[in-house]
Every structure is written in structure tokens, then in C-alpha cells.
């Protein structure tokens, strides 16, 4: 077993996977910059086809993050995204899974289906990173293809598990694909790069009912087969 750095306890990978959930209410305290740097740097050991390392990452806190939140609040309808987060006319079983997840989320808040204003107010909290003190934004060269998008996704998963190791919580947010122009300007993003996703980072608010949500997973037999085993 690799010996952990002094002052840090070892976290079992299975435990980290189990603990990691999308947190949607954070405390206001900001993690140390060094901790955020360590997480992002260590995550660069994530798999990368051909070692292209396509990820480009920006971390915002304090005044820069507050400026982003102000601009998003002034433009709640967003901009033209560079890609569709979900395919148009989503079909089953994906449509049903997404529907049920939304219903479970709003149920934690006691928001009924017919209360559209309340649901829209909750949706708008994405633009506030759910109160998280750190916003991470993951970008890549738009000329790269789906395999490199997969690499960025694996990098993000590694970030989330390393955050768990340090007692922090996250929420990956493709919501930020709705603000490509705003983010490109505020991040001074190279013209050939696009915003893939954002991520809220911080400590969860244990008292928030929405943080009790654990999205369902289908049974193993629904999506997997094992063949050729004795």
C-alpha cells in the first residue's frame, strides 16, 4: 500500500466511489488553494489515449467567481451552447431515468411538479454553483473528437474521487455548456478551445435536504453481461 502524506488518512477507492454524490448545497468556506492545486495536479494521472492530455482546467474562487455568478444571474436564459448535453427527443430507457431523477430531486425539496416557478428557481442555482466556494471549468480544443471528450470525463472523475479523499465534495455541471461566450471571455479561453463542463467544489451542507438525494442505479443485469467465465 502506498503510504499517504503526513497528516492525511488513506481512503479506500470503493469507499470514495460510494461517498461521491452530486452535492447541491455547499458551505461557504473556501478550501485552501494548495489543496485544490494538489487535487487537479494528481488527477492528471487519469487515463489519456496517446497521452494527449486534452484537458485544460480553470479554478475560480473569490472575486473572479463572484463576477461569473453576477454575469450568469443577469442572463438566466444562457447562450447558444456548443453541444447538446442530451440528445433531442430523448428515448427510453434514458428518458425515464432522467425524468425519475428529476422527480426524486424535487421531492427532497417538497417542490411539486405543478410549481414551475419553484423548479426554475432551483434550476437557477446551477449558475450559483449551488453556493460552492470554488468553481472548476474543464475545456478542450474543439477540434478534438469523442475519444478526447472521454479523456476529459475520466480526468473529472479522478478529480471527484481525489476530492473525496480530502474530505471535499463536488457536483459536475454540464449546465455550464450553456455559457460558452461568457466563460470564454472571463477565462480568456484560447479561441480554439471550448467549455466542456463545470464542477462545484467545497464542503457539503449536511443540513440541506437536497443533499440526501442518491440517484438510483439499474440492476447489474440490465446493462452488463459476463461471458466466458467458469
**Could you tell me the three cell numbers for 11?**
481512503
> Is residue 5 scored above 60 in pLDDT?
no
What are the pLDDT digits (tens) for 136-154?
999 999 999 999 999 999 9
H-run or E-run covering 161: helix 146-165
Grid cell 449551488 in the structure block, residue: 130
Q: How far is CA 210 from CA 85, 122, 123, 174, 218, in A?
A: 23, 10, 13, 19, 21
pTM, rounded to two decimals: 0.93
Task: Return the percentage of the chain with pLDDT > 70, whole number.
Answer: 96
Residue 7's pLDDT is what?
Answer: 54
> Is residue 66 scored above 80 in pLDDT?
yes
Give the CA radius of gyration of the chain: 18
* Alpha carbons 17 and 177: distance in angstroms, whole number: 25
What are the pLDDT digits (tens) for 109-139?
999 999 999 999 999 999 999 999 999 999 9
Counting beta carbons within 10 angstroms of the beta carbon of residue 29, is it exposed (0 to 12), middle (13 to 18) or buried (19 or more)?
exposed
Q: What is the band of 78 on the pLDDT scale with cuts at 50, 70, 90?
A: very high
> Is residue 10 scored above 80 in pLDDT?
no
What are the pLDDT digits (tens) for 162-190?
999 999 999 999 999 999 999 999 999 99
> Is residue 1 scored above 50 in pLDDT?
no
**Could you tell me the three cell numbers for 97?**
431515468
What structural domains does the chain harbor? 21-213 (3.40.109.10)
Grid cell 453541444 in the structure block, residue: 83
Closest CA to 12 of 2, 27, 22, 26: 2
SS3 readout for the chain: CCCCCCCCCCCCHHHHHHHCCECCCECCCCCCHHHHHHHHHHHHHCCCHHHCCCCEEEEECHHHHHHHHHHHHCCCCCCCCCCCCCCCCCCCCHHHHHHHHHHHHHHHHCCCCCCHHHHHHHHHHHHHHHHCCEEEEEEEECCCCHHHHHHHHHHHHHHHHHHHHCCCEEEEEHHHHHCHHHHHHHHCCCCCEEEEEEEEEECECCCCHHHHCCCCCCCHHHHCCCCCCC
> Is residue 2 scored above 60 in pLDDT?
no
Q: Which range (7-16, 97-106, 158-167, 215-224) has the least confidence?
A: 7-16
What are the pLDDT digits (tens) for 27-54?
999 999 999 999 999 999 999 999 999 9
Grid cell 499517504 in the structure block, residue: 4
| Average pLDDT score over the chain | 94
Amino acid at each position: 500500500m502506498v503510504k499517504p502524506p503526513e497528516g492525511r488518512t488513506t481512503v479506500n477507492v470503493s469507499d470514495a466511489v460510494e461517498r461521491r454524490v452530486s452535492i447541491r448545497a455547499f458551505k461557504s468556506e473556501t478550501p485552501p488553494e494548495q489543496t485544490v492545486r494538489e487535487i487537479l495536479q494528481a488527477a492528471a494521472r487519469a487515463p489519456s489515449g496517446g497521452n494527449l492530455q486534452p484537458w485544460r482546467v480553470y479554478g475560480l474562487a473569490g472575486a473572479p467567481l463572484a463576477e461569473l455568478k453576477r454575469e450568469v444571474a443577469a442572463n438566466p436564459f444562457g447562450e447558444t451552447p456548443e453541444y447538446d448535453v442530451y440528445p433531442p427527443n430523448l428515448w427510453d430507457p434514458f428518458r425515464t431515468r432522467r425524468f425519475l431523477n428529476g422527480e426524486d430531486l424535487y421531492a427532497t425539496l417538497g417542490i411539486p411538479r405543478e410549481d414551475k416557478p419553484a423548479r426554475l428557481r432551483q434550476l437557477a442555482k446551477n449558475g450559483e454553483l449551488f453556493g460552492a466556494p470554488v468553481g472548476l471549468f474543464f475545456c478542450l480544443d474543439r477540434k478534438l473528437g469523442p475519444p478526447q471528450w472521454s479523456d476529459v470525463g475520466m480526468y473529472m472523475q479522478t478529480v471527484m474521487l481525489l476530492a473525496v479523499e480530502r474530505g471535499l465534495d463536488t457536483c459536475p455541471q454540464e449546465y455550464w455548456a450553456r455559457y460558452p461566450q461568457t466563460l470564454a471571455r472571463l477565462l480568456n479561453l484560447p479561441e480554439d478551445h471550448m467549455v466542456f463542463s463545470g464542477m462545484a467544489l467545497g464542503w457539503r451542507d449536511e443540513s440541506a435536504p437536497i443533499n440526501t438525494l442518491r440517484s438510483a442505479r439499474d440492476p447489474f443485469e440490465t446493462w452488463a453481461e459476463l461471458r466466458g467465465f467458469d
